[in-house]
Each structure stands twice: as C-alpha cells, then as structure tokens.
Amino acid sequence: MSDMMETLRNHEKMTPKQIEIVKAAIELISEKGYYNTSTSEIAKRAGVAEGTIFRHYRTKKDLLVTIVTPVITNFSAPVFAKKFVSQVFQNDYEHFEDLLYAFIKNRFEFAQSNLPLIKILLQELAFHPEIQTAYKKEFGAKVIPAFNQALDFYKEKGELQNLPNETMIRMMVTTILGFMITRFIVQPDKAWDDEAEINQTIAYIMGGVGR
C-alpha cells in the first residue's frame, strides 16, 4: 500500500498499535470480506490483544466505518476541489476531452494506490446503510454540483450534446468505473496498456456525449 490513506495520516493522535490494527483490518477485510474476518484474526495480524481493538473502536462495524468513510470523500472529492473547478473556468482545459483526461488519470492513480480500500468500499457498500448514507451525501453534495457546473460550461462552448446532465453523468461515471473495475478487480493480471486504454475510454465517452 503505497498510499497509507487519510485515516492514518489525518489522525496523528493514533497509537502505534492502533495503526497496526487499521492496517491489518484493511488487508484482511479487502481479501476476505467483512463478515469473513474476525476481530481475533485482526488482532493476531496486528500483533495486538483482541481487547485493544475495542479500546479504540466501540464495535467491529465502527472499525469498518472509520476505515471506509474517508475513502468515499477522497475518491470523489479532490478533483472537485476549488482548485480543480477554477482550472476548468480559467480555461486550463480548453476542451472537455482535456478535463476528462486529467480526471480519469487522477482517479486512476488514486485507485491504483488505494486498491484494498476501494475493494472494501465496493464490496461492503451493499450491506451497510451507514456507508451508503455517507456515499450519497458526498456524491450529492460535491460530485453532482461540480459535474453540473463543468458540463454546463462545455455545453455552452458547444462541445457537448444537449442531453440531461444526469444521464451524462451516469454514463460517464459508469464507463469510468467500469473500466477501473475491469482493470483492477476483474482482470488485474492482464497485460494492460493503461495509457492506451485510458485514451480509448475517453474516445468512447466523447463519441457518446460529444458532438
């Protein structure tokens, strides 16, 4: 794990043992799933007594949510930060394609260096309402508005078709996620030419939404 995640970086108040717990939990849960990973296993891998886990996290689910929630923010937010949005309007990306490229590249690299966490997020999203709530909140409050702004901008420039933003977002997100899931989860061992695939993905999207 090259990127040891905000969970660990942000809270500098974390005990060394606590860090080991989170590391072990990420490894085990991403490999075997939440329900197949017992707290005793996590403790063993972390080199810690089982009770120590519950000193830091009230419940096992609390541990999961603490681990997963920041991923949602970090996976969806940064590109939509002020810096990124202003780059769009300062014409740093002349064409929508350029924006797309920067976006996909950025998220691709993030996914690559946070694979175990992304896996956990995808796998457990279905079963834990707490995670779903966090996801919907993040997506509705940040991703959608920023997307809307950018789409409207390039629509006016005449680069995009006049489809509903919602439809466009769904198709773009679907295509990008689909590529990454295939790349990292379904066929991670294939000999991928990432740069070429990214460009093909962009061409595919532009064919579908551009004019």
Q: Binding of DNA at residue 17 (CB under 7 A)? A: yes
Helix H, strand E, coil C: the string for the chain is CCCCHHHHHHCCCCCHHHHHHHHHHHHHHHHHCCCCCCHHHHHHHHCCCHHHHHHHCCCHHHHHHHHHHHHHHHHHCHHHCHHHHHHHHCCCCCCHHHHHHHHHHHHHHHHHHCHHHHHHHHHHCCCCHHHHHHHHHHHHHHHHHHHHHHHHHHHHCCCECCCCHHHHHHHHHHHHHHHHHHHHHHCCCCCCCHHHHHHHHHHHHHHHHEC
Q: Does 158 bind a second copy (CB under 8 A)?
A: no
* 171 contacts a second copy (rule: CB under 8 A): yes
| Footprint (CB under 8 A) of a second copy, residues 35-74 | 35-36
Closer by beta carbon to a second copy, 85 or else 171: 171
Structure tokens at 135: 């996801």
Partner from DNA, a second copy, none binding residue 200, C-beta < 5-8 Å depending on class: a second copy
Rg (C-alpha) for the chain, rounded Å, is 19
Can residue 123 be called a binding residue for a second copy (CB under 8 A)? yes
Q: Out of a second copy, DNA, none, which partner does residue 174 contact, by CB within 5 to 8 A per kind?
A: a second copy
Min dist. Cβ of residue 35 to a second copy (A): 4
**Contact region with a second copy (CB under 8 A), list: 52-60, 75-83, 95-103, 177-185:** 177-185
Residue 204 lies near a second copy (rule: CB under 8 A)? yes
Residue of the chain from 8, 25, 48, 118 that contacts DNA (CB under 7 A): 48
177 makes contact, choosing from DNA, a second copy, none, with CB < 5 to 8 Å by partner type, with a second copy
Q: Taking CB under 7 A as the rule, does residue 3 contact DNA?
A: no
Alpha-carbon distance of 14 to 117, in angstroms, equals 19
Query: Does 142 contact DNA by CB under 7 A?
Result: no
Q: Please report, as ranges, the residues that interact with a second copy according to CB under 8 A.
A: 32-33, 35-36, 122-123, 126-127, 163, 167, 170-171, 173-175, 177-179, 182, 197, 200-201, 203-205, 207-210
